[in-house]
Amino acid sequence: MGVLKLFISPWIACTVPIWFILYYTIPYFTSYKTLSRVPGPFLAKFSNLWVGYSARRGKKFAAVDSAHRKYGKVVRIGFNHVSIADERALNVVYGHGNGFLKDHYYEAFIARTPGMFNVRDRAEHTRKRKIISHAFSPKSVAAFEPHMAANLQRWVIQLDRIAGMGPKSTSLDGSPGTFARFNAMPWFSYLAFDIIGDLAFGSPFGMVNKGKDETEVQLVPGGPMSTAPAVEVLNRRGEVSSTLGLLPALRPWAKYLPDPFFTKGIAAVENLTGIAVAAVASRLDAAEKGQIDTRNDILSRLLQAKDANGNPMGREELTSEALTQLIAGSDTISNTSCAVFYWILHGERCAPGTIVPRLREELDQAIGDQPEIASYSQVRDLPFLRRCIDEGMRLHSTSAIGLPRLVTDNGSGVEFDGYFFPPGTVLSVPSYTIHHMAEIWGR
C-alpha cells in the first residue's frame, strides 16, 4: 500500500509532468540552442512529436512540404532535425566525403541483422559494399535480364487475359479487340515482387500467376511454414519503421501500444523477415544437399561473395542482404511503374495526342511487332521514353521523404545559407519538395 500511495501522491502528480517538460526543453536551451534561429513548427523546437505524428498519419512528406512553403527553405522539423529544401544542399548533406553518418532513424528498420540500407557504422558499410558491389556490376545486371523478361511475359499474359474478359472495342490502330478497366496497382506489385523474388531468392513468389498477394513465411530457420500478404506486410513495415525511427523512445513499447498501427506494424516486421528466411533457407538447404546451383541471380552472387579475408557471408547476413533487395526493389518498382503509367495517361487526357501517340511511334520504331518482351538494349536510348519516365519519377517520388544524416561529433559542424549546424544535428533534403519546386522545374 505504501508503494501505491507513493505513485498516486500529489508529489508524483507534480514531478512527472515537470520531468517530462524539462526532458524536452533542456536540449532546446543547451545542446541545440544554435538551432533556435531556424524557423519551424513550434512543437518541433522541443521534440520530434510533430514530425513523428506526421509519419504516423502517413503524411510526413506533405507536412514537411507544407512547412517549407510556410517557413522557407531551411526548416526545423525536430528538436535536432533540420530539413533543407535547396538543391545546393544535396552534396552538403549526402556527399560521400562529408563524414556524416546515417541517423539513428535507420535503426528502426533493422529486424535482426543490419543490411546495406540500415547499417550505420561506416567501416561495416564499406565492408558490405565491397562484398556486394560485384553483384550489381553492369555485366551482372545484364545477366539478370532473362529473369526479368520471363516475369514480364507472364504479367503481359495475365493483363491480356483480363482485357479479353471485357467488352469489344477498337484499338488505337483501328483493329478490333476487347478492353477492361481494373485496378493496376496490385498487378504492378505482383510483378515487382515476383521479379525481386526471382533475383534475390532464386524463384518468383508466384503472385502474377495466382493474381494474389500471398507468399510463404518462416519466422525461424526450420520452423513451420505459413503464408502472409507480402505487399501489405511490406507497406505496414515501412510505415511503422518510419514512424518509430522518428520516435525512438517508443520502440521498446510499440508492440504494447493500443494503436493497431504499431501492433500490426511490428508483426509485419517479423513476417517480412520470415519471407526472407523461408526463401534463403530453401536455396541454402538445396546447396547443403549437394544440389548444383546454376542460376545467375543476385543471391547466387551473394553466395559467391567473400570479404577481404576470404570469408563468405553467414546465413543471417545473407538473409539480411536478400531482404534488403526485396525491400529496396519491390514497392519502389511497383509504385514508380504504376505512377509513370498514370502520369502518361493523365497527361494524354489533359492534352490529347501529345504523349501516347508520340511514345507509341518511338516504341514501334525501336521494337516493331516482335512478340517477345523488348530487351534493355532496344529501349535504353529512346529519348521520349526516358523523359516520360524521368517526369513520372519527379511527380511521384520513389522516396518522398528526406533521408536523415547525422553531423558527427568528430567534426566542427557545417554551415549552410547563413545557418550553423553543430555536431549532433540531423540534416535532410526533402525529395518531394525538391521535385516540386517551381524555381527548379517551372510551373
pLDDT in tens, 40-98: 999 999 889 999 999 999 999 999 999 999 999 999 999 999 999 999 999 999 998 88
Selected residue with higher pLDDT from 279 and 254: 254
Residue 185: Cβ within 10 Å count: 16
Burial class (CB in 10 A: 0-12, 13-18, 19+), 346: middle
Residue type, 363: L
CB 33 within 8 A of CB 45: no
Mean pLDDT of 181-204: 91
Binned at pLDDT 50, 70 and 90, residue 247 comes out as very high
Mean pLDDT of 157-175: 79
**235/237 Cα distance (integer angstroms):** 5
pLDDT for res 151: 96
Which pLDDT tens digit goes with each residue over 380-437? 999 999 999 999 999 999 999 999 999 988 778 899 999 999 999 999 999 999 999 9
Cα-based distances in Å from 283 to 223, 302, 411: 16, 12, 45
- For residue 304, is pLDDT > 90? no
Cα-based distances in Å from 75 to 30, 62, 63, 400: 19, 14, 12, 17
Rg (CA), the chain: 25
Could you give the domains of the chain?
A: 1-26 (no CATH), 31-103+404-443 (no CATH), 135-329 (1.10.630.10), 336-395 (no CATH)
- For residue 174, is pLDDT > 80? no
CB 405 within 8 A of CB 99: no
Indicate the pairing of strand 74-78 with strand 81-84: antiparallel
pLDDT for res 274: 83
**151/329 Cα distance (integer angstroms):** 15
Lowest mean pLDDT among 18-27, 151-160, 289-298: 18-27
pLDDT for res 140: 84
The set of residues, in sequence order, having a beta carbon less than 8 Å from that of 109 and lying 6+ positions away, is: 117, 118, 241, 245
Q: Please give the helix or strand (H or E) that residue 342 lies within, else none.
A: helix 331-350
**89/441 Cα distance (integer angstroms):** 17
Nearest CA-CA partner of 303 in 292, 320, 321, 318: 318
Nearest CA-CA partner of 194 in 398, 377, 334: 334
**326/347 Cα distance (integer angstroms):** 31
- For residue 223, is pLDDT > 80? no
Indicate the pairing of strand 81-84 with strand 426-428: parallel
Q: What angle do CA 357, 359, 364 make, to 5 degrees?
A: 90
Mean pLDDT of 269-280: 82
pLDDT for res 6: 45
Biggest CA pair distance of the chain? 87
Give me the phi and psi of 202, to 5 degrees please: 105, -10
CB 97 within 8 A of CB 42: no
pLDDT for res 3: 46
Question: Mean pLDDT: which of 10-24, 149-163, 400-414 is highest?
Answer: 149-163
Percent of the chain with pLDDT over 70: 89
Mean pLDDT of 297-311: 82
Selected residue with higher pLDDT from 65 and 112: 65
**417/440 Cα distance (integer angstroms):** 18
Mean pLDDT of 17-23: 56
pLDDT for res 7: 45
Mean pLDDT of 318-335: 87
pLDDT for res 111: 77
**DSSP per-residue string spanning 386-400:** HHHHHHHHHHS-SS-
- DSSP, collapsed to helix, strand or coil, labels residue 407 as coil
pLDDT for res 92: 95
Lowest mean pLDDT among 77-86, 123-132, 336-345: 123-132
The set of residues, in sequence order, having a beta carbon less than 8 Å from that of 411 and lying 6+ positions away, is: 99, 423
Which pLDDT tens digit goes with each residue over 349-363? 999 999 999 999 999
**422/426 Cα distance (integer angstroms):** 9
The set of residues, in sequence order, having a beta carbon less than 8 Å from that of 198 and lying 6+ positions away, is: 147, 148, 150, 151, 204, 297
pLDDT for res 370: 83
Q: What is the mean pLDDT of the chain?
A: 86
Residue with the three cell numbers 526493389: 329
Lookup: cell for 3: 508503494
pLDDT for res 214: 87
Lowest mean pLDDT among 120-129, 206-215, 241-250: 120-129
**57/34 Cα distance (integer angstroms):** 30
